[in-house]
Amino acid sequence: MLAGALGDLVLGLLASCLSGLAVWLWQRGRHNRDLRLRMRVVGARPGDTCLIVMNNKYGAPGTTHHHDVQAMIEAAVLSHGLRCEVEVVRSDDFRGGNGEKPEFCIGGPLGSNVRSAGHVAHSLPGVTFHPYDHPDHPLAIEAGGVCHRRDSGNEEYVLLAKFTAPGGERPVVLICGQTALTNHAAAYFLRRSYRRIADTVASTDRFCLLLKVPSIGTYGFQGVVLERDLTDVAFTRGA
């Protein structure tokens, strides 16, 4: 009877070990699949140095809004999760291509980030950011004949785009919103919703998404949702 009990114990331990090994292998496989998917969406690989190009607070050169700092932190956390180093530069001080460094460019093109303005003008000719003093819809983002207007403090929009810019061998991820809060929302969305992005776009090599941040007074930046895939119109002038 003792031998039988010991045999049952050994079989039980063996079954537990095999079960635990199977769970560990499944979790490791899932982690590796998630890592590969995040690498595809962001365009960064382990060992890269990701360049984060920071903007100015509107009307206050040399300073950065709290929410834009949070957007930078989201980009840095995402980069470190991909086993990348991070280099932060100010948009006022950076010229030229991003070369072999994947780039996160944070901030709107209207007096906040001059590099964002250049990226939009060159790489997203189908998108227009209306100025602050526009008589009908200030700060609206227009694409494909549709204006997405800002309802200040209630409902606002931000572009999340990926493309390869002139002089760059690696992609640019552009976070370009109507406000600093929307920039934070887009960086948060990119870090947490990479599966949704991959399922939405035709190719993770190049895309342009419009995100909406509704009910800001209730949900803040965390309420961000995917509004439209603008890829078909954003990269074509006059689309």
pLDDT, averaged across the chain: 89
State residue 134's pLDDT score: 85
What is the rounded CA–CA span in Å between residue 63 and residue 58? 9
Q: 152-187: per-residue pLDDT in tens?
A: 989 999 999 999 999 899 999 999 999 999 999 999
Please say if the pLDDT value at position 24 is more than 50: no
State residue 11's pLDDT score: 60
Closest CA to 142 of 156, 153, 154, 126: 126
State residue 87's pLDDT score: 96
State residue 103's pLDDT score: 98
State residue 6's pLDDT score: 57
Q: 90-116: per-residue pLDDT in tens?
A: 998 888 999 999 999 999 999 899 999
Closest CA to 206 of 153, 167, 177, 164: 164
Closest CA to 148 of 117, 116, 182: 182
Confidence of residue 140 (pLDDT cuts 50, 70, 90): very high
Helices (H), the chain: 2-42, 66-81, 114-123, 180-192, 194-200, 216-219, 231-234
Q: 3-17: per-residue pLDDT in tens?
A: 556 555 556 666 666
